Amino acid sequence: MSRHTPRKRPTLAKLALTTATAAVSLTLTAPTAAAPKPASTLQSASIRFHTENEDKDGDTRVTITVRDRNRTVVAEQSGDLGQWDEGEDSPEIGLVVHQASPLPDLSGGTVHIRIDPVGHDTWAFTFRATMRYSGGESVIVNRDQRITLSEENRDADTQI
């Protein structure tokens, strides 16, 4: 004769606990969508001038202002910056980044150059401005058409 132990039937309380536990373990959560990659933002900016046939006096103050399409000042530098003779390139001038503007906002912006001479000064130049972004992108603005500024005509804008 075989010994057979009769199985105990689960009580209603144990059955409810088992079912509740199973329900919790089967709860599924929907996968979350990947967050969109944020736009690259402005990290640094610089400019280099090439003086044409009219030099810049050493005491003439130059202000470079980069604005995005919303007219927000994103980078700027101002100072005498030295004398640049005819045919000479300036050193690369770093601009102070004021606003980490997203890359798409730069399109439609401007690079504004202003001079404030002491007395008379006429300066003819071209420039190359470079804006570097957090995603590794760079925006380069080459102004190959000569700009001539003087005490009578102090400002020039170049569209980005």
Domain residues of the chain, as ranges?
42-159
Q: pTM of the full predicted structure? A: 0.75
Average pLDDT over residues 106-110: 93
Distance of alpha carbon 48 from alpha carbon 23, whole angstroms: 68
Higher-scoring residue by pLDDT: 22, 79 = 79
In this prediction, residue 37 carries a pLDDT of: 72
Q: Do the beta carbons of residue 66 and residue 121 sit within 8 Å?
A: no
CA distance 141 to 130: 6
In this predicted model, which residue has the larger pLDDT, 52 or 36? 52
Q: What is the mean pLDDT of residues 23-36?
A: 51
Instruction: Work out whether strand 122-133 and strand 110-116 pair parallel, antiparallel, or are unpaired.
Output: unpaired
CB atoms within 10 A of CB 125: 25
Distance, in Å, from the CA atom of 50 to the CA atom of 90, rounded to the nearest integer, reads 6
pLDDT at 116 > cutoff 70: yes
Q: What's the pLDDT tens digit per position in 4-21? A: 555 555 554 444 444 444
Average pLDDT, stretch 98-114? 94
2.40.10, 3.40.50, 2.60.60, 2.30.29: which CATH number matches 42-159? 2.60.60
Lowest mean per-residue pLDDT among 43-47, 99-103, 112-116: 99-103
Pair of tokens at residue 43: 């990290």
